[in-house]
Structure 1
Amino acid sequence: MTHPFDREAATIVAQMTISEKLDLVCGNGLWRTTGMPRLGLPSLLMVDGSNGLRVVPDQISTDTQNADLGAFLDAVDTTDDPENRDSNVLLGKSVPATCFPALSVLANSWDIALAHEVGTALAIECRAAGAQILLGPGINLRRSPLAGRGFEYFSEDPILTGEMAAGVIRGLQNRGVGASLKHFACNNSEVERISMDSVVEPRALHELYLLGFERAIARSSPWTVMTSYNRLNGIQTSQNPWLLRHILRDRWQYDGAIMSDWHGIQDLPAAIKAGNDLDMPFNAARRRQLENAVLNGSMPETALDEACTHIAALTLRIVDAQRRLPVTRPDFAAHHDLARKAASRACVLLSNRNDVLPLTPEPGERLLVIGTGAVSPEIQGAGSAAVRPIQCDIPLKCLKATAPESVSIHWEPGWGADGDHDAERLATALAAACIAETVIVFASTPPCFSGENADRPDLNLCPAHDHLITELTKIHNRVVVVLTHPDAVVLPWADNVQAILSAGYAGAGFGQAVADILFGHANPSGKTSVTWPVRPEDCPAFLGYPGEQGTHLYREGIFVGYRFFDIRRIQPLFPFGHGLSYTSFTYDALELTIGADGVAIQFTLSNTGTRAGWEVCQLYLGRSPTAPNRALPHHPLRALKGFATVHLEPGESRVVDMTLDRRDLAYFDTVREDWTVLTGTVSIEIGASSRDIRLVTELHVAGDATPARWLNLHTPPGQALEVAGLQDDLVTWLADVTGQSISETETRLAPCRRSFLGIYDTLCWSFDLELDETQLTQILDDANRRSGARKPEHRSELEPS
């Protein structure tokens, strides 16, 4: 696809010297591109932060070409000092900005329009700070809850991921700020992330890990894509022509610029030839390596020109957009209200026994709040996504301000300031619980164990938090737990507390959002964007995580997240798409209409409760499991294909429309190396979660023709003889070789269909002859040509097609 600014960009590049071209693809300092003022190309400033703006003025100076290593490490710092977490170099020097919920939390809203609102607010703050590109959103699948950057990514499912990412990107770019969709691809762990080889089979690669990127690109056209650090099936992603040219450019028709992650390129000439346009940040050694390659002819200047054209076109696009869209002064108060709204919409009510929530305390009742997180909330994760919040709601203050005036609220820390066990504080908290009608515990994971460059060691909360909650359940029957955490956690006491509210890293509006939900001023509507396991061993990636000796095998294949729990019939702690409400919804009257463009789906959603609320209606495609004795493609029992987020007043009903196109019915066929629809019956399932299916109907699908299998001497006869015309060819040849009649030859050939041996060995044995391999190969090749079969390439089964 041709970029709208490509022609003008090519004209500009044609006027550049070799030195200018090298400068353009090598960045400038830590956060800028190199401008070409004489040619009308300004320098572009990039900033971090999908959940808020992170601008460190000391790091964006253009006075130095070789960015200081310390400055770079500051940008990705995951401190191991919890007492100094909020005052580290990164946050201390960053310009204050609105801290929105982490993308993992925003995804729990399943609300594309809300994602667009957040993207718009981010763009306004970017423009005010002089930034042209925001380095996000990150959309790697949350394959394992141990992954240190899981909170930066949306979901375990590519459909939810791609749709939510597109919402953020459109919000950014509609206000003139380019998005950088990252990290392309399969950056699913922080362990040895610059060198680890993610080894992924082709179907899983296309159906899961690439699909989110493909969908986001199709729906939002991000102006840049960022490659990941890791290798993918043996090749560094930034130097992978199959990934960048064949998939991204050719198959998906992507027309934007491709940049590296920071110091993610190891061989710059190879990266430029593969299609990586921009090397970030500036590195003198890599520039010299590229210059030598151009001058000695080992890298064609045309490849350099192509990269320069993409960067110049990106610059022209941003200049044009920001000229048309004037800068508006950020309304930080309004943005904080949006952060509160997003947090409120995305918090997930995981359990609510006996409808203990919302709290409706009688005059004079005492509420006890326990936990240091109530006064010093953990609102975000560590690393390059960290934001210095311009404002932050303190949960305890918000609870006191929101509760009825006649209600007494008392706070106890419960554990030490570092989150560890403190016997005296534990005893005091338990004693206070004995005289309180309701206890609210703010519990969390250890604050210093995960983030960029650091995976989580386990899925536990802080031991002291688990211990206190367990002890509370022995003496109190109204315990409500509010969780802050980067990803799914295990909760050994889950069946013994009355309510659990998952907030995740909910941003600066966390405190008021929780207060509004607990006291019923907001109706919880979040739904889990990942499956929560009962124990770590239940996770799909458990046996292969995080890899060994530089290789990370994605052993679970296409069965990631809920797909794995379903096929293995494992009961999760909380299923994918789960979340409770203070109202109730019913689903009725499912209808399908089959048209030329796909399947139109309608059903009626009704709010049968007493409160207004949002419901996330989830569309799954269900398939019966493949019979174990048939060599057919395996499929998940169900896979998300779409969703609708609907707001209804009490008693209101609405017809919800959803669609499936032919691609939604397809799987990635590794023989065809393309998406293929199988003939058969599937189920259309509408659910309130992946384990709460409300409506089901069947759909018969007329699939694509079954791809012909390549025949060779080792193909079993039963498979080979299914190919039209082959039996006649074999009978004619064998009759000629043996001197038997056609009917006699057919009689001797018939039992051969039952043989599990190769066709050559079977025929030799059956006819008691050493047949000519060359002649049989020719007969099989003729059959292959007639059927259109493709000869498999000689490659590892795990290597991308």
Structure 2
Amino acid sequence: MFQDAKVAVADVIATMTDEEKVDILSGRGLWKTASIARLNIPSVIMTDGTYGVRYSTTQIDAGDDDEDSLQQFLAVVNQDADDDTGMFGTTLPATCFPNGNLIGCSWDYDLTYRMGQALAAECHQMGVQLLLGPGINTRRTPLAGRAYEYYSEDPVINGDLAAALISGLQDHGIGASLKHFACNNSEIDRTNTSSDVSERALREIYLAGFERAIARSAPWTVMSAYNPVNGVQAAENHWLLTQVLRQEWGYDGLVVSDWHAIKDRPVSLAAGTELDMPESKPRKAQLLTALKTGEVDRQAVDAACGRMLDFVRKCLAAKPTVPGADLDRHHALARDIAAESIVLLKNEKAVLPLDPATTKHLLIVGDGAVKPQIQGSGSATTNPYLVDIPLSQIEARAAGRFVVEHLPSPDGTAMEIEAHVARICERARDADAVIVFAENEKGRNGEGNDRDTLDIVAAQNAVIAALAGVTDKLVVVLTMPDAVEMPWLETVHAALACFYPGQGGGEAIARILFGEQNPCGKLSATMPVRIEDIPGWHSYPGEHGRHLYSEGIFVGYRYYDLKKVAPAFPFGHGLSFTTFGYENLAIDASVISPGSSCNVTLTIRNTGMVPGKEIVQIYVRPVAPGLKRPIRELKAFAKIALQPGESRSVTFSLAPRDFQHFDTSRGSWVLQAEAFVIEAAASSRDIRLSQVVPCRSEPLGRPAFTEHSPTSAILGDAAAAETVRAFIAEKLAVSDDEARIITEKIRGSFLGFHESLSWFIGDSISRDDGVKLLSDLNNGTCG
């Protein structure tokens, strides 16, 4: 019945029993939706896949045994990417692409789309119909355990790259699940600690990336987060899931819970969560009882079933666009994405790229050269089809032309570490260059576990500091989930930020070290000098079940700019082996007015000697905006490839929202400023060109008067003051002059209207009359 396209979904729902409706709105086991044989409704298979398809045969096949399913689920969440004890034993090999923390540094829509296309091919080959990603929670703090999965601290990058990945998946027949909606920014007691965020910060920062991605790519599903938002579980939050997501944004896809995120199933359904994952017999019983007793509205249940069945039909209709997944081709793509994303943080005296013709002895230090940390830990962890070993890829470049020597990371007792560091320094004296592979402390990141430090391994700090005194070519290659502290930064000559580069990272690193790939990645999150500089550090991770987002809208670079704090490396920073010139900034609008958009055009020129790519960033800086706003905000970007001497004109379109801020007193986006400075930049701290455009602010009605509004505010409005004067004259039966004197006496009062009148005239005017007057003023009905 169901698979007959001529049969309407509403007709299918009309034939369903209450038990079948509850079944279809719940999972079957860990990774499937429920099937109903009587109605020919099949299961949909889903799995994790933020940066790779994690298909476990035992986990996906496990289903009816609750205890077994729970154990399988916990095994997924708690797995460690560094564990060698067989964690991938039942997981099919797949391409482990760079994690979100590095993909974000690509600022590359096309590459991210191609990654989505490759993931779709692997899903089809494994029989997966819904991939649970991308995750785009704002990287509010580098300590967050799942920060490695996410793209950026900025909603523009988050939204645009998410839209690219979603389109790459769904254009090729695989559904995406945009997650985690919303404010999943800490793993500490993540299902109970409330993310307490002002509405303005929600609208401008934390929801904006989701809104942008949904508008540009229409994901088949949105996944709600584990945490409460302002005291209400995200999966049970009517304001978030119905008012904002559906009514304001017009989203018509399916909302699915994060795994076991629902605490009250009837409330979650009423709030807008259609699919409860994974299967939970207690939660199904809750919903069935609520349905039979009328606690939940039958129409709401039927509407949820309708969205669920529409989703199943969409999955059934999707067909693969290629015959199978080419894992070798996907490995090559993983290499390319990593090479396009790795950030050259520092390159003093152009020590990079290394020249194989003049290099005789290259010293490689660190375990990361032979056992690379390619990904983070938790439910997103992928069984890599193949892993490029950095040392092997570097040795391949030597090809007998020079000696490559490797020494492991210092380890052991303090005395043993000291001796090891001394040996490394002794060997470094004979080397033409030294490359140190360094990483953050192991076991301090990943799902369920926020970091408590930004330190790298202490012994690695010691060896880098020691090497700085014995070699004039010291290169540090960093892998990490997010920012780390670099106390040796001023003494090293070059540094690469590789974050988690995926299975092709070893080859990508070698390409950049030897100049085969000109680095073009730029930081998508600010790197602080020290942990105490993190925005909101003073209120992290919260207390008594509440986590106050105390920095408000000033997240990431917005905070560093406002506070004039110098970061280690700013948002948008990334060096190249060539140089770029910015020329001829032109804006096609003479004024920014309500509802208007504009185009920004400039010329980018490669002024160096080698081909390269520049990521051009467009920021908008408001002048005298009224409400406090960030100094500047990213609004558009593009990656431009140029040959030496080549120039290219590039145009960016700025929409009305790019100039607005959210006014909570009016519950809407408004345009208020004297002017805007439109900036073309190489980073948030490297502004190359700028132009001022005047603004014609939109007329804003005054805020509504209440009985608690200060009398001074009411009488500060000329029209309201005249109405109040006439009101006093009528109610007290006094002349206009006498009413004017009374009005002037109470004009400066900070008390409410009725209380102020009472001080001067007693109870001659009732409170009800005063409240009615204010209501008439608000409604414009005063004559």
Paired residue for 2:18?
Answer: 18
Question: Of 136, 147, 152, which aligns to 1:155?
Answer: 152
Q: Structure 1 residue 220 and structure 2 residue 217: aligned?
A: yes
Secondary structure of the residue aligned to 2:183 is: coil
Secondary structure of the residue aligned to 1:122 is: helix
User: Conserved in 2, the CA contact under 8 Å of 1:78 and 1:451?
Assistant: no
Secondary structure of the residue aligned to 1:60 is: helix
Secondary structure of the residue aligned to 1:92 is: coil
Give the residue type in structure 2 aligned to 1:132.
Answer: Q
Paired residue for 1:448?
Answer: 443
Give the residue type in structure 2 aligned to 1:637.
Answer: I
Paired residue for 1:30?
Answer: 30
Give the residue type in structure 1 aligned to 2:608.
Answer: G
User: Conserved in 2, the CA contact under 8 Å of 1:679 and 1:704?
Assistant: no
Q: C-alpha displacement at 1:543, in angstroms?
A: 1.2
Question: Of 675, 678, 691, which aligns to 1:697?
Answer: 691
Give the residue type in structure 2 aligned to 1:161.
Answer: N
Paired residue for 2:677?
Answer: 683
Range moving further from structure 2, 525-534 or 313-322: 313-322
Q: Percent identity?
A: 42
Paired residue for 1:616?
Answer: 615
**1:757/1:16 Cα in 2 relative to 1: closer, same or farther (>3 Å)?**
closer
Range moving further from structure 2, 468-477 or 399-408: 399-408
Q: How far, CA to CA, are the matches of 2:79 and 2:321 in structure 1? A: 37
Q: C-alpha displacement at 1:525, in angstroms?
A: 0.4
What is the 5 A alignment of 1:22-421? 22-61=22-61, 64=64, 66=66, 67-79=68-80, 85-322=82-319, 325-326=320-321, 328-363=323-358, 365-403=360-398, 405-416=400-411
Give the residue type in structure 2 aligned to 1:479.
Answer: L
User: Conserved in 2, the CA contact under 8 Å of 1:102 and 1:506?
Assistant: yes
User: Conserved in 2, the CA contact under 8 Å of 1:167 and 1:220?
Assistant: yes
Q: How far, CA to CA, are the matches of 2:437 and 2:139 in structure 1? A: 25
- Where in structure 1 are there 5+ consecutive unaligned residues? 627-631, 789-801
Q: How far, CA to CA, are the matches of 1:361 and 1:543 in structure 2? A: 49
Q: C-alpha displacement at 1:241, in angstroms?
A: 1.3
Q: How far, CA to CA, are the matches of 1:535 and 1:652 in structure 2? A: 40
User: Conserved in 1, the CA contact under 8 Å of 2:421 and 2:462?
Assistant: no
User: Conserved in 1, the CA contact under 8 Å of 2:558 and 2:630?
Assistant: yes
Q: C-alpha displacement at 1:759, in angstroms?
A: 4.5
Across the aligned residues of Structure 1 and Structure 2, the Cα RMSD in angstroms comes to: 2.3
Q: How far, CA to CA, are the matches of 1:773 and 1:43 in structure 2? A: 63
Secondary structure of the residue aligned to 2:444 is: coil
Q: How far, CA to CA, are the matches of 1:146 and 1:348 in structure 2? A: 20
Q: C-alpha displacement at 1:399, in angstroms?
A: 0.8
Secondary structure of the residue aligned to 2:560 is: helix
Q: How far, CA to CA, are the matches of 1:239 and 1:633 in structure 2? A: 32
What is the 5 A alignment of 1:425-444? 425-444=420-439
User: Conserved in 2, the CA contact under 8 Å of 1:262 and 1:280?
Assistant: yes
Give the residue type in structure 2 aligned to 1:550.
Answer: G
Give the residue type in structure 2 aligned to 1:124.
Answer: A
**1:735/1:23 Cα in 2 relative to 1: closer, same or farther (>3 Å)?**
closer
Secondary structure of the residue aligned to 2:588 is: strand
Q: C-alpha displacement at 1:703, in angstroms?
A: 2.7
Question: Of 655, 658, 674, which aligns to 1:661?
Answer: 655
Q: C-alpha displacement at 1:487, in angstroms?
A: 0.4
Give the residue type in structure 1 aligned to 2:94.
Answer: A
Range moving further from structure 2, 559-568 or 665-674: 665-674
Q: Structure 1 residue 672 and structure 2 residue 666: aligned?
A: yes
Q: How far, CA to CA, are the matches of 1:73 and 1:692 in structure 2? A: 46
User: Conserved in 1, the CA contact under 8 Å of 2:600 and 2:653?
Assistant: yes
Q: C-alpha displacement at 1:756, in angstroms?
A: 4.3
Range moving further from structure 2, 166-175 or 768-777: 768-777
User: Conserved in 1, the CA contact under 8 Å of 2:135 and 2:149?
Assistant: yes
Q: Structure 1 residue 508 and structure 2 residue 503: aligned?
A: yes
Q: How far, CA to CA, are the matches of 1:152 and 1:364 in structure 2? A: 37
CA deviation vs aligned residue, 1:676-704 (integer Å, no higher than 9, x gap): 11142111111111111111111222233
CA deviation vs aligned residue, 1:409-446 (integer Å, no higher than 9, x gap): 11111323999973443222111111112110000012
Q: How far, CA to CA, are the matches of 1:383 and 1:424 in structure 2? A: 36
**1:574/1:101 Cα in 2 relative to 1: closer, same or farther (>3 Å)?**
same
Give the residue type in structure 2 aligned to 1:314.
Answer: F
Q: How far, CA to CA, are the matches of 2:416 and 2:659 in structure 1? A: 52
Give the residue type in structure 1 aligned to 2:167.
Answer: R
Q: Output the TM-score relative to the length of structure 1.
A: 0.92
Q: How far, CA to CA, are the matches of 1:246 and 1:421 in structure 2? A: 61
Range moving further from structure 2, 228-237 or 9-18: 9-18
Question: Of 701, 704, 710, which aligns to 1:716?
Answer: 710
User: Conserved in 2, the CA contact under 8 Å of 1:41 and 1:316?
Assistant: no
Secondary structure of the residue aligned to 1:337 is: helix
**1:315/1:652 Cα in 2 relative to 1: closer, same or farther (>3 Å)?**
same
Q: How far, CA to CA, are the matches of 1:70 and 1:426 in structure 2? A: 44
CA deviation vs aligned residue, 1:537-596 (integer Å, no higher than 9, x gap): 111120111111111111111111111111111111100011001111111111111397
Secondary structure of the residue aligned to 1:474 is: coil
Q: C-alpha displacement at 1:295, in angstroms?
A: 1.8
Q: How far, CA to CA, are the matches of 2:147 and 2:155 in structure 1? A: 14
Q: C-alpha displacement at 1:724, in angstroms?
A: 4.9
Secondary structure of the residue aligned to 1:59 is: helix
Q: C-alpha displacement at 1:7, in angstroms?
A: 8.3
Give the residue type in structure 2 aligned to 1:397.
Answer: S
Q: C-alpha displacement at 1:777, in angstroms?
A: 3.1
CA deviation vs aligned residue, 1:606-656 (integer Å, no higher than 9, x gap): 111111111111111102466xxxxx4211111111111111111111111
Q: Output the TM-score relative to the length of structure 2.
A: 0.95
User: Conserved in 2, the CA contact under 8 Å of 1:123 and 1:175?
Assistant: yes
**1:775/1:418 Cα in 2 relative to 1: closer, same or farther (>3 Å)?**
farther
**1:170/1:475 Cα in 2 relative to 1: closer, same or farther (>3 Å)?**
same
Q: How far, CA to CA, are the matches of 1:339 and 1:159 in structure 2? A: 24
Paired residue for 1:598?
Answer: 597
Q: C-alpha displacement at 1:449, in angstroms?
A: 1.7
Q: How far, CA to CA, are the matches of 1:669 and 1:283 in structure 2? A: 41
Paired residue for 2:538?
Answer: 543
User: Conserved in 1, the CA contact under 8 Å of 2:372 and 2:390?
Assistant: yes
User: Conserved in 1, the CA contact under 8 Å of 2:187 and 2:449?
Assistant: yes
Q: How far, CA to CA, are the matches of 2:9 and 2:545 in structure 1? A: 40
Q: Structure 1 residue 522 and structure 2 residue 517: aligned?
A: yes
Q: Structure 1 residue 488 and structure 2 residue 483: aligned?
A: yes
User: Conserved in 2, the CA contact under 8 Å of 1:139 and 1:154?
Assistant: yes
Secondary structure of the residue aligned to 2:454 is: coil
User: Conserved in 1, the CA contact under 8 Å of 2:45 and 2:128?
Assistant: yes
User: Conserved in 1, the CA contact under 8 Å of 2:666 and 2:703?
Assistant: no
- Where in structure 2 are there 5+ consecutive unaligned residues? none
**1:749/1:273 Cα in 2 relative to 1: closer, same or farther (>3 Å)?**
closer
Count of aligned residue pairs for this structure pair: 773
Q: How far, CA to CA, are the matches of 1:414 and 1:87 in structure 2? A: 19
Give the residue type in structure 2 aligned to 1:188.
Answer: N
**1:368/1:751 Cα in 2 relative to 1: closer, same or farther (>3 Å)?**
farther
Q: Structure 1 residue 640 and structure 2 residue 610: aligned?
A: no
CA deviation vs aligned residue, 1:100-132 (integer Å, no higher than 9, x gap): 000111010000111001000011011100100
